[in-house]
Amino acid sequence: MLLLILRRLAISIPLLFLVSIVTFVLEAFIPGDPASNLLGANATAAQYAQVRAALHLNEPLIVQYGIYLSGLFHGSLGTSIFTGNDVAQTLSQRLPVSLSIIVLTTAVSGTLGIVIGVISATSRRGVRRVLDGITPIGFALPNFWVALVLSSIFAVSLPIFPATGYTPFTDSPAQWLLGLVLPVVALTFAGVTSVAKVARDGMLQALSQDYIRTLRSCGIPRRSLVWRHALRNSGTKIVTVLGNIFIGALSGTVLVEAVFVLPGLGSLAVSATNSHDIPVVQGVALAFTVVVVVVNLIVDVTYGLIDPRVRIK
């Protein structure tokens, strides 16, 4: 098990470096001069030179990257060009918001998806057909559009849920949850259907195995065969798709945070993109990559827990 974790980490460290290099190199392509962008038109030559020195803009690119890396190891991700705030601090403030959305989306999609998938695997043809029909519809609905429609119906016309804004869990759990209902619902549409499909296919495959027949011949009822044995044997496939849902929700949160004006990493990424605030964009890219790495790690560890044969390899 430990070996599994170490191996996954060994692959992930270069990935983080790669992302930091990519965003750093892209920065070199920005048209215009960061110093003059920052100071504006009415800067004196002295101020200009001062800013350039402070931003290390006169050094070769490699040195600049080295300075950036050493900053990273000291826990510093730079400061925002636009707001002057410490990037790391901004990220840590916004991370819980996005994580709330993503984790809830994955949990809801997963639970609903598994239930629907299992029912679909053991249902009559008619029910299966209906579920097969709904799957592409769920997938095709643009999540930002669904968010807008939900907002217009359930937040504006019928003021049940807040249309904008986020309440931290520590302030008021009830309000925190209320504010997240619509964003999470908007994102689960696409996720539920793919979980359901994978769960169904996994169940069908597992239920056609010999060990199911052995247990059935001993009189074990269908309920146990489905929920205890077939489901666990589909476990690794379901966990894989849940990991994908999680990572998909990372992209999705960028959009729903815009619709519901939630102060998360997604809306930060968009505003930083629009204002060419490179340190912030870099910080968000790194943060997202770290999240992806952690999720993949959790998925791998879960594989090992579900199917011990994976641990042996």
| Residues 2-21 interacting with other proteins (rule: CB under 8 A) | 11, 15, 18-19
Among 1, 5, 30, 57, binds other proteins (CB under 8 A): 30
Measured distance CA(239)–CA(88) in Å, rounded: 31
3-state SS of the chain is: CHHHHHHHHHHHHHHHHHHHHHHHHHHCCCCCCHHHHHHCCCCCHHHHHHHHHHCCCCCCHHHHHHHHHHHHHCCCCCECCCCCCEHHHHHHHHHHHHHHHHHHHHHHHHHHHHHHHHHHHCCCHHHHHHHHHHHHHHHHCCHHHHHHHHHHHHHHHCCCCCCCCCCCCCCCHHHHHHHHHHHHHHHHHHHHHHHHHHHHHHHHHHHCCHHHHHHHHCCCCHHHHHHHHHHHHCHHHHHHHHHHHHHHHHHHHHHHHHHHCCCCHHHHHHHHHHCCCHHHHHHHHHHHHHHHHHHHHHHHHHHHHHCHHHHHC
Instruction: Enumerate residues 6+ apart whose C-beta is below 8 A from 153.
Output: none
Q: Does 69 bind other proteins (CB under 8 A)?
A: no
Q: Does 302 bind other proteins (CB under 8 A)?
A: no
Among 99, 258, 297, 298, binds other proteins (CB under 8 A): 258
Return the number of the residue (83 or 273) whose C-beta is nearest other proteins.
Answer: 273
Binding mask 141-170 for other proteins (x = CB under 8 A): xxxxx--xx--x---x--------------
Q: Does 288 bind other proteins (CB under 8 A)?
A: yes
Q: Does 22 bind other proteins (CB under 8 A)?
A: yes
Q: Does 254 bind other proteins (CB under 8 A)?
A: yes
- Give Cα 103 to chain centroid, integer Å: 8
Q: Does 176 bind other proteins (CB under 8 A)?
A: no
Q: How far is the CB of 129 from other proteins (least distance, A)?
A: 10
Return the number of the residue (48 or 144) whose C-beta is nearest other proteins.
Answer: 144
Return the number of the residue (52 or 216) whose C-beta is nearest other proteins.
Answer: 216
Size of the site for other proteins (CB under 8 A): 83
Q: Does 272 bind other proteins (CB under 8 A)?
A: yes
Q: How far is the CB of 21 from other proteins (least distance, A)?
A: 12
The stretch among 23-31, 45-53, 62-70, 181-189 that binds other proteins (CB under 8 A) is 23-31
How many residues are recorded in the chain?
A: 313
Q: Does 239 bind other proteins (CB under 8 A)?
A: no
The stretch among 53-61, 96-104, 106-114, 245-253 that binds other proteins (CB under 8 A) is 245-253
Q: Does 51 bind other proteins (CB under 8 A)?
A: no
Q: Does 103 bind other proteins (CB under 8 A)?
A: no
Residues 178-237 that bind other proteins (CB under 8 A): 204, 207-211, 213-222, 224-226, 228-229, 232-233, 235
